[in-house]
Structure 1
Amino acid sequence: MEVGYLSKVRVYEISKQLNISSKELIKKLKEFGVDVHSHMSTLEDDEAQLILDYYSSEVQESENNQVKEETIDEEISRTAKHENFEKKMNDSSKKTKVKDKMMKDEEVKQDTIEQSDEIKVIQIPNKVSVQTLAEKLGKTPAEIIKSLMMRGIMASINQEVDFDTASQVAEEYGILLEEETQETLEEKMFEEEPDSPEDLVERPPVVVVMGHVDHGKTSLLDAIRKSNVTAKEAGGITQHIGASTVEVNGKKITFLDTPGHEAFTAMRMRGAQVTDIAILVVAADDGVMPQTIEAINHAKAANVQIIVAINKIDKPGANPDRVKQELADYGLLAEEWGGDTICVPVSAVTKTNLDTLLEMVLLVAEMAELKANPNKRARGTIIEAQLDKGRGPVATVLVQSGTLKVGDPIVAGSTHGRIRAMMDDKGRRVKKAGPSTPVEILGLSEVPSAGDRFYVAESDKQARHYAEILAERNREQSLRATPNKVSLDDLFSQIQSGNVKQLNIVVKADVQGSVEAVKQSLERLSNDEVRIHTIHGGVGAITESDVMLASASNAIIIGFNVRPEAGAKSVAETEKVDIRLYRVIYNAIEDIEAAMKGMLDPEFQEKVIGHAEIRQTFKVSGVGTIGGAYVQDGKLVRNAKVRIVRNGIVVYEGQLSSLKRFKDDVKEVNAGYECGLSFEKFNDIKEGDIVEAFIMEEIPRA
C-alpha cells in the first residue's frame, strides 16, 4: 500500500482509506496506546503511519493466503470431476477442513471486527433525562433506573442526570458517551465528508468593499455593477438583495453589500467566514483615515486578502503615491514598491481602471484556487433577512457549497422551511443556485439572523426537528452565563489553565502618538506564557465597531484619554467585552503586568452618575469661565469628580469648583434641570462640551 506524506488526519479518513469501520480502527488504535475518542479524532503523522503500516502487512498476508486458497480450490475441483458422488462429498468435507485451517486467523480477525462493531459512541447533551438516556442506549427506562439505584441515585423516568453519571451507566453496556456541544450537534446533523479533488470545480470569489466614509465605496460598487450589465439587462439592478454578481472575461465575481466593516465583523463573530477578498477603498486626495485603519485591521483579523483601490484619481490634489506611503505604515506595501499588496488607481466617476481592478480580483482568486463541490446538498450563510408584509420571512443567502434548489427543505439557524421561490440579484426567478451565488429565498418559518448558517436537510420533518433542537440549544445558552471572554480580572487564571496563549488588545487614544506608545509599551510585556498582540489601534472615542472587533477577536479594549460612546458601552456590556480606561500609560502597563502575574490589587471601579451639556459660557472677572449647562441624565453632585469630553476626547479631569442653581450654591442638580458650573484650574470650556460626573467605588478582587 502506498502511503504519502501525511498531515493531521481524522480517524474516519484513515478508516475510509483502509476500507474498514471506524469502530474497528478506534479499537485497534487503543491497542497500540493511541488515545482516540471518536471517528472525528485527529491522528499525528507517526500514529497514522503506524496503523497504515500494520494494515499494509495484514493486507499482504491476506492476499498470499487468498492465492493459496484458490490453488487448493482448483485442485479439489479437478479431483471432484473424476470421482463418484460419495467421494466428491468426502473431498468436499476435506476441502472445508483444509480451508478452515488456513482461514483460522482470518476468522479470529473477523470475530474481532464484529465485536468491535458492537462498541458504540453516542453523543448526548450535558444533561439528559432517564427516558432519553434509555432510548439512546437501546434499553428500557426500568433498566436505567435500576442501574442508577445501584449507584445510590433515586431518579424517576423524567428526571435529568448529568453527563458523568450517564457515562458510568453507558459503560455497563459497552457504550461510550461524548458530550454534545452546539458544534458537534451541527456536525451530527449535517456531517460533511471531505470532497474528492475530482468533484471540486472553480467557484467565483466573494468580495466585500470596505473603507472610510465618503471615500467612494458605494460609488465604486455602483460603477462596477453598471459597467458589467449586459445589453439585455439594460436599466441595471431591478431589486436590491444585499449582494450582487458581475461578470468579467467570462468569469463571475460576487460582491457583498455590507454597510461597513461592523457588519463584516458581526458575521465573523458568529463564525461565518464568507469573504475571500476585501477591496479597500482609499481616496487619492484624502489618504488613510481612521476608518481606513479600522478596515485594514478588521480584514487582517479575518485573514482576508486585501486589494487596495485608490479612488478619486480624477480629482485635483490626488496623490496616489502619498496613499501608498501611508498604507505602508500599516503593513500594506504596494507591489511596485517591493511588497505584495495590489494597489489599483481608479475613478468611480470616470470609470477609469475598473476593468483592471476586477482583473486583479480574478488574479488573486486564481492564486487562491477557490473551489467547491456543486453536486451535493447546499450549505452556506444568511447574509441578511427581514420580514416582508406581502411575502413573509425573506432571506438573502450565499451558497458556499452544493447547489440550492427550489423545493429544498432547509434549516437556517433555528428556523426551517421549504424554499418556495428564489430570486437572483437581478430580480429574476431562478430554480437553482451553485457555490458563491447570492439569492433571495422565500419559504422560511421565521426570520433568521444575519451570519446564521443554513443547510439543506433530507426532509421537511428532519429540518423541523433539527431547527427545534437548535432553538432549544439557543434558549439554554442564553440562560447560561455568557461564554468566557478575556478580562484583566481573570487573565491570570486563564493563562494558568492554558485557555489564553495570546492576549488581543484594541487600543484607542486621543492622539496617534499615544496609540503607538501604548501599543509598544504593552507588547513589550509579552512572555513565554502569553503574547500580547494589538489587533487595532486608532484615534478617537471607543466606538461600537471597536467593541464588535474586540468581541469577535476575544480582545480587551484599552482607552487612553478617551471615552466610549453611549452605544459602545451598552454593546460592551452585552458582549462582555472588558474596557479599561486610563490617563497615564504606566497605569495600563502596571495593570496588565499585574494581571499576567495574578497580582491585581483591589480596584476602584468608576461609576458614572450623570451627564450635562454646556450650552453657554460666561466670563466672570475674578472667578473665571462659568458654563451654563443642562443635565441630560443622572445628576451632578458638588463633591463628585468630573471630566469634560469634547468630540470623544477627554480634555479635562478634576473637580467642580462650584455648582449653582440660579445664584444659589447647591449640593446636586438632577436630570432635566439647568445649572451653572465652574471647574478647578480649568477655564477652557466650550459650548457643546459634555460634562461627565463620576464617583469611585472600591471593588475587592474575587
Structure 2
Amino acid sequence: MTENELKEIILPPSITVRELSERLNASPINVIKTLMSNGVMANINQQIDFDTAAIVASELGYDAALETFDAAEKEPLGEIPLWRQLIAREDPDDLIPRPPVVTILGHVDHGKTTLLDAIRSANVVNDEYGGITQHIGAYQVQHDGNIITFLDTPGHAAFTAMRARGAQGADIVILVVAADDGVMPQTKEAIAHAKAAQVPIIVALNKIDRPNADINRAKQQLAEAGLVPDDWEGDTLVVPVSAKEKTGLDDLLEAILLVANDIEILANPEGTVFGTVIEARRDRSRGVIATLLVQNGTLKKGDVITAGETYGKIRAMFDYQGNPIKSAGPSVPVSIMSLDDVPAAGDMFETAKSEREARTTVRDRELAAQEAAQSQKQAASLEQLFARFQAGEEKELRLIIKADVQGSLEPIQSSLRDLNTDEISINILHAATGNITENDIMLATTANAIVIGFNV
C-alpha cells in the first residue's frame, strides 16, 4: 500500500493496545504481533506511546496524527474576587511584586497533606527550631531566595468559604493528582472551583514512586478534563513528584515561581490595608484568635480592623511560627488577638480609622446581612435571570449540569452550547453525573451560576 492510499487516523499521546486495535479495526493479536516484530513486548492492557502506536498504524494501512487539545478558554468563569478589584484601584506606580499565595486541592487520598508536610519540612523559612510549633493555618517557605506563602487548610474549609464569599485568597492552586489513580470526581470539582475563582492551576502528579503509576494515562485524563500538559502543547504545568520520597519538590516550587512571574502578583505595601481571614477560633484564656492573610498595605500592631460582622484593635500579632511581630506586609500570614467575636473563614478584613468608625461599619453590615437574608427567602428563578439578560445586565449564562448517566450528559452539553448567541453566551462551568451536591451549590454561589439537574 502506497503512502497516498494510507487512511488518516488521529491517536492520543498514549493508548492501550486494546484501544489501538479498536481504532484500527484490527484484532488485538495482529496489533501485538506487529509490536513484537518491531521489538516491543506488550500485553493487551498495556499503554504505548504515540510514536509506537504510529508505527503499528502505518504497517496496518493508516497514517497516524497526534491528537491535539484545545487549551482551556481564557474567558472569566466567575466574579473577580473583591480583593483583586481593590488592588486594581491602587496607583499602578505604587504596585510592587509580592510573594505568591498557594493552596493545594485534590481528590481524597491523593497525597495533599503528605505533600504539604514534605514541602514544609524541607523548606520552612528560618526553621531554627526543628519545625513549626504553632499551626496557624498558613506558613511560608523559601526557594532560591524567593518567599512562597502556603495556605494550610485541613479539609480546605477556608478555601471553600473564600470561594463562596468572593474573597478567595490564593494566587495559584496546586492540584494534586495521584499517578496511580488519575483524575477522579473530586479532582474535576477542584478544577471547576479553581477556574471559577480565576486562579491558575499547576498539577502536582504525585505518587510516581508507586509501581502501578501511569503518568501518560494521568496526563491523558487531565487533558480530557481541560488541563492540557505543557509538554503536550498545552499551558498547564504538570510536575511529577513523590511526596513520600520527597522527590520533585524543587521542580514544583520552581513551577510556582514561574507561574507567579507570568501573572504579575502585585500589591502596594503603603496602600489601603486589607486581606482575608484564613481561620479563627475562640481560646478560653486568650479570647478570639484569628489567622489573617495580608493582601495589600501593611498591617500594624495597634490598628483597628473590621472583619465581616466583627471588629477590634490589634493587641498582639504573631508570625506563622508564633513569634511576636509589630507589622506585616502583603502575602504575610499573621495571627492576631483583639476581635470581639469570631469572624468567618473567608471574610475580608480592613483597617478603620477608629473603633467608633469600626462599630458603625459592623452595624451597617449587620443590617445589610439581615436585609439580604430577607431577600434570599425568594430564590431567583430562570425567568428573573432572563429578565436581567433582556435588560442588558447579564451577557453570560453560567451553568452547572448534573445528569443521571454519562450518555445523557454529552448531548445535553452539546444542545446547550448550540444556544449560544451574540446576546447571550452559555458557559458550562461543570458537568458531571450523580446527584446535586453541596459542592455544586458552593460553586454556583461563587460563580453566580444556575444548577440544572436531569433525572437526578
- Residue number in structure 1 paired with 2:452: 558
Report runs of 4+ in structure 1 exceeding 6 Å deviation: none
Amino acid at match of 2:253: L
**Other-structure match for 1:549:** 443
- Larger C-alpha radius of gyration, 1 or 2? 1
TM-score, with structure 2 as normaliser: 0.77
Alignment correspondent of 2:79: none
- Cα deviation for residue 232 of structure 1 reads 4.7
- Tell me the residue number matched to 2:60: none
Per-residue deviation, residues 144-186 of structure 1 (Å, max 9, x unmatched): xxxxxxxxxxxxxxxxxxxxxxxxxxxxxxxxxxxxxxxxxx9
* 2:290 equivalent in structure 1: 395
Pair 335,272 (structure 1): closer, same or farther in 2 beyond 3 Å? same
By how many angstroms is 1:411 displaced? 1.4
2:303 maps to 1:408: yes
1:529 aligns with one of 423, 427, 442 = 423
* Range with greater deviation from structure 2 (532-541 or 392-401): 532-541
- Cα distance change on mapping 1:234 and 1:547 into 2, 3 Å: same
1:241–1:366 CA distance, 2 compared to 1 (3 A): same
Picking from 267, 285, 293, the partner of 2:188 is 293
How far off is 1:377 after superposition?
A: 4.8
1:430 is paired with a residue whose SS is coil
Question: Counterparts of 1:420 and 1:338 in 2: how far apart (Å)?
Answer: 53
Match of 1:444 in 2: 339
Aligned to 1:518: 412
Shift in Å at residue 486 of structure 1? 4.9
Instruction: Look up the match of 2:225.
Output: 330
Secondary structure of 2:452's partner?
A: strand
In the TM superposition, residue 500 of structure 1 has moved relative to its aligned partner by 3.3
Structure 2 CA distance for aligned equivalents of residues 232 and 325 of structure 1: 39
Change (3 A) 1:484 1:231: same
| Equivalence map 1:318-357=2 (5 Å) | 318-357=213-252
Tell me the TM-score normalised to structure 1 length.
0.51
Identity of aligned residues (%): 56
| 1:457 is aligned to 2:334 | no
- How far is the alpha carbon of 1:554 from its aligned partner? 1.9
Match of 1:218 in 2: 113
Give 1:395 shift: 1.1
In structure 2, do the counterparts of structure 1 residues 369 and 523 end up closer, same or farther at CA, with 3 Å as the change threshold?
same
The correspondence of residues 544-693 of structure 1 with structure 2, limited to 5 A, is 544-562=438-456
Q: Deviation of residue 225 (structure 1)?
A: 0.5
1:348 maps to a residue whose letter is A
SS in 1 for 2:120: helix
- Distance in 2 (CA, whole Å) between partners of 1:513 and 1:198 is 54
* Among candidates 184, 209, 212, match of residue 314 of structure 1: 209
Q: Deviations over 1:251-278 (max 9, x none)?
A: 1111112345665343123121421101
Q: CA deviation at 1:508?
A: 1.8
Distance 1:307 1:193 in 2: 24
Between the aligned partners of 1:524 and 1:263, the Cα distance in structure 2 is: 37
Q: 1:493 Cα deviation (Å)?
A: 2.6
Distance in 1, Cα, partners of 2:452 & 2:298: 45
Q: Which amino acid aligns with 2:414?
A: Q
| Residue in structure 2 matched with residue 496 of structure 1 by the alignment | 390
Q: Cα gap change, 1:530/1:376 in structure 2, threshold over 3 Å: closer, same or farther?
A: closer
Question: What is aligned with 1:379?
Answer: 274
Equivalent residue, structure 2, for 1:264 = 159
Q: The residue matched to 1:429 in structure 2 has which SS?
A: coil
- 1:511 CA displacement: 3.3
Aligned partner letter, 2:166: G
CA RMSD of aligned residues (A): 2.3
Q: Secondary structure at the match of 2:293?
A: strand
Q: Which runs of 5+ in 1 are unaligned?
A: 1-185, 563-702
Gaps of 5+ in 2: 1-81
Higher alpha-carbon deviation: 286-295 or 448-457: 448-457
1:285 Cα deviation from its structure 2 partner: 0.3
Distance in 1, matches of 2:363 and 2:384, equals 35
Equivalent position of 2:69 in the other structure = none
Report the counterpart of residue 539 of structure 1 in structure 2: 433
SS at match of 2:315: strand
**Residue 431 (structure 1) aligns with:** 326
**Corresponding residue of 1:241:** 136
Answer whether contact 1:486 1:554 (CA < 8 A) is retained. no
Shift of 1:231: 7.1
Q: Counterparts of 1:274-289 in structure 2 under 5 Å?
A: 274-289=169-184
**Aligned partner letter, 1:524:** D
